[in-house]
Structure 1
Amino acid sequence: MEQFRTYVYAIQKENFHVINTLSEQLKEYFADASEFVLSGGRMDSLFKPIENLILMMDMVPPETMNKLHEMAKLMVSTGLEKECYNVYSSCRREWLEGLVKQLLGLENLTIEDVNKISWNDLKHQIRSWIKASKVALKILFPTERRLCDLIFFGFSTVANLSFTEVCWGCTIHLLNFSEAAANRSRSPDLLFTILDMFETLRDLIPEFESLFCDQFSVSLRNEANTTLKKLAKAIVEIFMELENVIRQDLAKTAVPDGGIHPLIRYTMKYLCLICDYRPTLEQVFEDHGHLLREYPKLDDSVPSSSSLSLHMDRIMEVLESNLIAKSKIYKDSALGYVFLMNSNEYILQKTKNNDIRKLLSDDVIQKHKANVLYNYDQYRRSSWQQVMRFLKWDNNGSVSPKMVVKSMKKKLKSFNILFEEICRVQSLWFILDEHLKEDIITNIKKKLLPMYGNFIGMFQKSVEELGKHADKYIMYGMEDVEARLDDLFRGSSASTDRCSKVFWKTI
């Protein structure tokens, strides 16, 4: 027995020589701290240089392997098979778990530990888990499988038992960690990290099925599939929580100058990132879309594959309702309409030439286009209708010329005061889209300049008929009015900087 143990340790001694080789092969992979590089071709290319290297075995002297096989054969034939696989699995398990911790840097955290650690620490651990899982399932476990098959050749039961015992602890640790992460809070910030975990485990299911296929290890395969379902459920619930976060954002502070609120920046950035995971999310929603049927718009008549798009549409509806509520915070209703114009224009810009457009219905896009026009019309009415009302004059001849001039002076004075105030205030307001800004100013000019020109002409004529000069009452010439209109919506750089800082802090 002791001699058998000695030879097992001899394998481990030889295996220590390959750690440096393995570390070099994986150096680039583990040095990359990015959260989104772990899928597809990048991962495959990293493993290609080592996929044909059975590293743990190629450096073991053939005589050591032959000796171990002969000793295992002798022990099993003399009724010591239990002692044989216990000694072997104990030695290899200890070595494998130590290697995982040393090489992969994955801490042995309990479920309670996962629930207590900070969000940044959890993200770091999840990145380690993703990489550790791929290395374990693609390199370390297959190596252990081949070792068992060679040492216990001809004794499949002992080989299967030994392999299961060797890999059990590491496998359970990896699965427990992912389950604990799935059971953590439903904060929307967790979605993309949990999606990375889901994709990793999903892509490793074939390895689980090929490695753990006998009666002793099938429970590990089943546990992996159960954990995958729990991750999928977490994804759906976290995605649904985004709607609650938007609805519950009840901030009472208006964005200065009608700029873009951090909530809309966060939401659209979030939805654009979701598009990177569209195939995975559609798969998850297809399998777990029934969780969404509690909502009015999602019933059994809706194809499950459209659940993701329908939920995206509902998120946009909730966002719109929230933005309308925020627009009412502004004391100046015209600025509230400018805020809504900018918000809807921002959404249209983010959905243009972007994959998010494929996930939103045409009705949603058309609604935001209509909202821009509607809020422009409301802005025009609330800001400029009163200004233009001062320029209207209907004299049917029943009023004396002196009273006409007096009334027109009063109207002109009111116009000058209100026009000056609007231009002063609105020069600091912000319009997101330059073309929209130009269209708004052009439309104001088209309506205001002819009315102002006609009014001034009538006023000058009426004053001159009384033998007086009108110039001292006219504050603005036509070019002056046009110049003041061109100065609208310059925006405030200070408020733009503040919004930008809040945005990046939020994201």
Structure 2
Amino acid sequence: MAEKGEEKLIEVARHIAKTLGRTDTMADDILQIFSNFDHRFSRENLAADRLSDGSITDEHYSSLDHQFARFLSSDRSIWSDSADAAAFLDAVDSLISAVRDLDPPALDHANDLLQQCMLRLEDEFRSLIENPYGVSPYEPVPPPGFDSDGEDSEEEEEEDQIPVAPPVTDYDFVIDALPPGSVADLHEIGKRMFAAGFGRECAHAYSLARRDFLEESICRLGIRHRATADTSISDEVQATPWTELEDEIRRWVKAVNVGFRILFPSERRLCLRIFAGLSAISDLSFAEACRTPAIQLLRFGDAIASHSRSPERLFRVADMYEAIRDVIPELNALFCDKYSAFLCTEAVALWKKLGATIRGIFTELDNLIRRDPATAAVPGGGLHPITRYVMNYLRAACASRQTLEEVMDEDGMGIAEIPDRPSSPLAIQIAWIMEVLQGNLEAKAKAYREPALSCVFLMNNGRYMMQKVRDSNELTILMGEEWIRRQAARERRWGSEYQKSTWNKVTAVLRVDSSGRAPEPSVMRERLKVFNVYFEETCRAQSGWVVADERLRAEMRMTAVGIVMPAYRRFLESYRGVEGGKHGDRNVKHSAQEVEARINELFISRP
């Protein structure tokens, strides 16, 4: 009877030790206290549940199951109570330590319990990230509309819309997305999951929770979510009008800067804090969290670079090129591990592809000029639209001269500067386009029936080209003073041809016989009549010709006056001598003053 009482007493002591001892160390301490109190409570007697082979009895498992049961079955977040969180982590530590020394079949049961603990830790981990300020996902949430008073559905839709963030100009800061306490708790959970062999699951839980935050942050910058498949994004971009894409590209440039300079570096910093000492999990978590939003940004840029290379797209594509180029040095340090390095590779590939697109746009500009019909000359020999388009385009493009120099220098070798001559890859490209344009204009000039009007057309367009170069410091540097001198020489040649085909023809009939003999009066009268006809026909025709540049218009009038007036005055003087003074004026239709006035009324500034 006494023996049965003693066994019962020992069993009670053993139960007390197990119940009060949350860890193996605490239980051993309690056993030692009991042994010192009474030899019957020796460690050997009270720890009899441990067998000689190191396995654990069903009674011990019953104690472990009871210890975890209240945590694993709770509908409330364990981390809502710091004492519960500490107790649960201690219990997990004990279980992880025990599993290492167990043999089947006890190991199977312990692994099953460990699996349940890890699943709960994973849930708690995700909850701490998604609800860092204490809103537990385990607490029931009323269904949408439960407390609704029937508000208008439009108001609900407005509330659901994601507000667009204001512009960011300073990228030198980081975002602390989680409070320090949450970071510390996440770190403790991460350590246990890694120790139990669940590091990849922990990284996955992190990435699922943080990816939503990053994607929403990108959306707040005005970038709408698209499918990540290359074909889907490419097809959608191709079907979108360019005017809409321009607005999205402007937002994309800002999103690239915010994403790669602020959001992703802040995410890297958060991973390093949560997974301190666990670099493999830290790298994997960061890569999985950033993968989708980063690919979204890069795939959109790739879709833009893959489609139409119309010249008007140059400026937005150049903005994209500069945005990616400027963040790449930071990406080399940001995406430096084996899990995220591919993002840096894709960014570099996009940078190069955008550069190729820019070069392709200049090739398309060349083709556009060549395809412009040679017969499409403008009335009056004025400025052709293709000239205005190309020169204004080049001038605007050269505002990004440094970027274009970099893009055109595809091999990165550069070309030695030669004074007064286009020498850089960009200068050579611009000079070539100008030559193509000049050749197109000369072909168009042949469409005019009057040779003089062809010359006026070439002078108009040549002067415009030269003036645009002179007005642009960047174009002047690229083309060089030698090009300007060559263009001025061309203009002088066209001017000379214009004079020969018009005013030289008019004044040819006014020449007096150089022999010194006085012409017959009838001959003089006939010459005067021919002059009047030629002069009036010329003035009538050229009064409708266009000379757009005011200075060129004044120069052409002055040249005409310089050719006609001296010859006309000499002829009138000789004519009056032959006709007998004032009697000769009866046949003079135009006085010298009237002829000069008519010439100074020639040409209009625009059609």
The two structures have a TM-score, normalised by structure 2, of 0.69
In the TM superposition, what is the alpha-carbon distance from 1:238 to its structure 2 partner? 1.4
In the TM superposition, what is the alpha-carbon distance from 1:486 to its structure 2 partner? 1.3
Residue 545 (structure 2) aligns with: 429
Structure richer in helix, relative to its length = 1
Alpha-carbon distance in structure 1 between the residues aligned to 2:422 and 2:255: 34
> Structure 2: where are the runs of 5+ without partners?
1-118, 136-161, 228-232, 414-420
Deviation by residue 1:86-121 (Cα, 9 ceiling, x = unmatched): 111112113322332244333416122122222112
Residue 187 (structure 2) aligns with: 69
For residues 326-405 of structure 1, the aligned pairs below 5 Å read 326-354=444-472, 355-394=474-513, 404-405=520-521
The one-letter amino acid paired with 1:483 is A
In the TM superposition, what is the alpha-carbon distance from 1:374 to its structure 2 partner? 0.6
The one-letter amino acid paired with 2:587 is Y
Alpha-carbon distance in structure 2 between the residues aligned to 1:81 and 1:397: 115
SS at structure 2 position matched to 1:104: coil
Residue 105 (structure 1) aligns with: 223
SS at structure 2 position matched to 1:27: coil
In the TM superposition, what is the alpha-carbon distance from 1:10 to its structure 2 partner? 4.2
The one-letter amino acid paired with 1:487 is E
Residue 279 (structure 2) aligns with: 156
In the TM superposition, what is the alpha-carbon distance from 1:137 to its structure 2 partner? 0.6
The counterpart of 1:120, out of the listed 224, 243, 261, is 243
SS at structure 1 position matched to 2:502: helix
Instruction: Check if 1:27 corresponds to 2:166.
Output: yes
Over 3 Å counting, the alpha-carbon distance change for 1:89 and 1:347 in structure 2 is same
In the TM superposition, what is the alpha-carbon distance from 1:317 to its structure 2 partner? 0.8
In the TM superposition, what is the alpha-carbon distance from 1:6 to its structure 2 partner? 4.3
Instruction: Check if 1:478 corresponds to 2:592.
Output: yes
Alpha-carbon distance in structure 2 between the residues aligned to 1:305 and 1:342: 28
Residue 56 (structure 1) aligns with: 177
The one-letter amino acid paired with 1:144 is E
Residue 269 (structure 2) aligns with: 146
The one-letter amino acid paired with 1:348 is M
Instruction: Check if 1:136 corresponds to 2:259.
Output: yes
Residue 334 (structure 2) aligns with: 211
The one-letter amino acid paired with 2:507 is M
Over 3 Å counting, the alpha-carbon distance change for 1:427 and 1:470 in structure 2 is same
For residues 38-57 of structure 1, the aligned pairs below 5 Å read 46-47=169-170, 51-57=172-178
In the TM superposition, what is the alpha-carbon distance from 1:424 to its structure 2 partner? 2.5
Point out the more displaced range, 189-198 or 468-477: 468-477
> Structure 1: where are the runs of 5+ without partners?
18-22, 30-45, 291-302, 496-507
Deviation by residue 1:58-95 (Cα, 9 ceiling, x = unmatched): xx2x3222221111111111111121111111121133
Alpha-carbon distance in structure 2 between the residues aligned to 1:452 and 1:240: 53
Over 3 Å counting, the alpha-carbon distance change for 1:54 and 1:413 in structure 2 is same
- Please tell me whether the aligned partners of residues 511 and 567 of structure 2 are also in contact (alpha carbons under 8 angstroms): yes
Alpha-carbon distance in structure 2 between the residues aligned to 1:119 and 1:25: 22
SS at structure 1 position matched to 2:286: helix
Bigger CA radius of gyration: 2
The counterpart of 2:361, out of the listed 231, 235, 238, is 238
Alpha-carbon distance in structure 1 between the residues aligned to 2:350 and 2:593: 72
Deviation by residue 1:260-295 (Cα, 9 ceiling, x = unmatched): 1111111111111222222122222222589xxxxx
Alpha-carbon distance in structure 2 between the residues aligned to 1:3 and 1:350: 70
In the TM superposition, what is the alpha-carbon distance from 1:461 to its structure 2 partner? 2.3
SS at structure 2 position matched to 1:47: coil
Alpha-carbon distance in structure 2 between the residues aligned to 1:345 and 1:389: 29
The one of the two structures with greater contact order (alpha-carbon pairs below 8 A, sep at least 6) is 1
Residue 312 (structure 1) aligns with: 430
Alpha-carbon distance in structure 1 between the residues aligned to 2:516 and 2:380: 45
Residue 417 (structure 1) aligns with: 533
